[in-house]
Amino acid sequence: MAQFEYKAIAPGGEVLVGEIAADSREAAIGGLRHKGVVPLSVEARRSGRRRLFASPSLLRRRKADIKDLMVFTRQLGILLAAGIPLDRALSILDGIIVDGPMQGLPGQVLKLVKDGASLADALQSRSDVFPAFYVGMVRAGEAGGSQVMVLERLANMLERSEALKASIRSALMYPLLVLILTGLSLVVLLVFVIPEFRPIFEDAGMKLPLATRIVIAFSDFAVEWGWLSLIGLLVALLTLRRYSMSEAGRARLDTWILSAPLLGELVRRIETARFCRTLGTLRANGVTVIEAVGIAAGTLANRAISQAARQTIGPLAKGEGLSTPMQRAGCFPPLALQLIEVGEESGRLEDMLLQVADIYDKEVERSIQRMLALLAPVMTIFLGCLIGFIIGAILAAILGTYDIAL
């Protein structure tokens, strides 16, 4: 059996911290519930070595990410579902979260709640952690008396987003490692290895093959101007980053991305899934369609699609449906538009929006996995051919020198 560290809440509201032996995490959670406590977090026990080399404070993250927000949301929902009042739940979380970027945040929210603010208003004061759609859904949950259900939906939504990002990061590790190692190999060949052969070729007085002359020219350039090229590349990247941070630059860059082959269609699907999931979840919790569209549009990363989504607010205010303005925007996939239209006609728009989000989330995941599965072998073959060309060019020249000597 494995050992699991847990944090749980006793029936009286006391925070329990300890360890439990179980065959799996699910079994550990079941064992804690059988004891009559509410599990907040259950994780496999970390070894002493890992604790010994824990990251120092200077290396810890300063900003909360999606995973931190998801854990906070899940734990707050569990406490409220157990019948614990909001102020007590926030106080418990403030005592549990003793490190990391979320440290002290429940206490800040609790202070505002005690001063008379609603939970949504208190969360809105920390807009750097809680995005607009999050606050909007919490506000709708407070108004409709479905706060626990809203927190559960938010946690599930954040968990899906984090799972997709984790799968992409994991799939990119191997191609990135291949690229780094091959890049280092090219630098070693061009800067250190090939210059050692140049005196041999000059002493032989032979006419070098074209491939060898090309390789030597690149080697000379890398030795003499490599550092300047690296500085120029860094300056270009910083300039592009600064340009992309401006409103005009970001809008142009996002528009260009949408017109790019493969990448543009992938971005459309990602943003469509995000927009539909946020909009459907907001509508299911009672947020008006106009307010929900504005909040959902604000969650989109691509400015061009975000602007297109905001353009539907005017027609919606005039009583027009959602699918027709979205179709006129020209940024959303045809299948999504057809399904949204069916949802409007059947009176099940919220359910259909969530189904559209599920469809495109799965399509995006499959598309990314296919692209990354092709990326690794293509990159390996290309870089292998490049290194093979360099080595072959040098060997051809060496063999030519050997023939002359004979």
Q: State phi, psi for 9 to the nearest 5 degrees.
A: -115, 125
pLDDT value of position 402: 63
Domain assignment present for 393:
yes
Q: Higher pLDDT residue, 8 or 117?
A: 117
pLDDT confidence bin for 54, thresholds 50/70/90: very low
The dihedral region occupied by 145, where left means phi > 0, alpha psi between -120 and 50, and beta the remainder, is left
pLDDT cut 70: percent of the chain above it: 93
Q: Does 124 score more than 60 pLDDT?
A: yes
Angstrom distance (rounded) from CA 203 to CA 398: 12
State mean pLDDT over 13-41: 81
Instruction: Kindly report which listed range (163-172, 279-288, 302-311, 332-341) carries the lowest average pLDDT score.
Output: 163-172
State mean pLDDT over 297-318: 87
Domain assignment present for 14:
yes
Q: Does 56 score more than 80 pLDDT?
A: no
Q: Would you give the DSSP letter of residue 192?
A: I
pLDDT value of position 338: 92
Are the C-beta atoms of 198 and 222 separated by less than 8 Å? no
Q: Does 319 score more than 80 pLDDT?
A: yes
Kindly give the residue spans of alpha helices, DSSP state H, lying in 125-193.
Answer: 132-144, 147-188
Domain count, the chain: 2
For the segment 349-389, what is each residue's pLDDT rounded down to a tens digit?
A: 888 998 998 898 888 888 887 887 787 788 888 888 888 88
For the segment 134-151, what is each residue's pLDDT rounded down to a tens digit?
A: 887 788 777 767 788 888
Q: Higher pLDDT residue, 398 or 328?
A: 328
Looking at the structure, tell me whether residues 260 and 404 fall in a common domain.
yes
For the segment 250-260, what is each residue's pLDDT rounded down to a tens digit?
A: 878 888 888 88
Q: For residue 40, what are the domain limits?
A: 1-54
H or E stretch at 21? strand 15-22
Looking at the structure, tell me whether residues 194 and 339 fall in a common domain.
yes
The mean pLDDT value of the chain amounts to 82
Q: Does 348 score more than 50 pLDDT?
A: yes
Q: Would you give the DSSP letter of residue 47?
A: P
pLDDT value of position 164: 74
Q: Does 60 score more than 70 pLDDT?
A: no
Burial of 171 (0-12, 13-18, 19+ CB in 10 A): middle
Size of the chain in residues:
406
Q: Does 50 score more than 60 pLDDT?
A: no
Domain assignment present for 67:
no
Q: For the CA atoms of the chain, what is the radius of gyration?
A: 29
For the segment 148-186, what is each residue's pLDDT rounded down to a tens digit?
A: 888 888 888 888 778 877 777 777 787 788 888 888 888
pLDDT value of position 52: 41
Looking at the structure, tell me whether residues 187 and 328 fall in a common domain.
yes
State mean pLDDT over 310-332: 87
pLDDT value of position 13: 66
pLDDT value of position 111: 92
Q: Does 403 score more than 60 pLDDT?
A: no
Burial of 111 (0-12, 13-18, 19+ CB in 10 A): middle
pLDDT value of position 112: 92
For the ranges 4-18, 61-75, 344-358, the one whose mean pLDDT is highest = 344-358
Q: Does 59 score more than 50 pLDDT?
A: no
pLDDT value of position 342: 92
Domain assignment present for 186:
yes
Domain assignment present for 97:
no
pLDDT value of position 120: 87
Domain assignment present for 369:
yes
Domain assignment present for 9:
yes
State mean pLDDT over 313-325: 87
Model confidence, pTM: 0.69
Domain assignment present for 151:
no
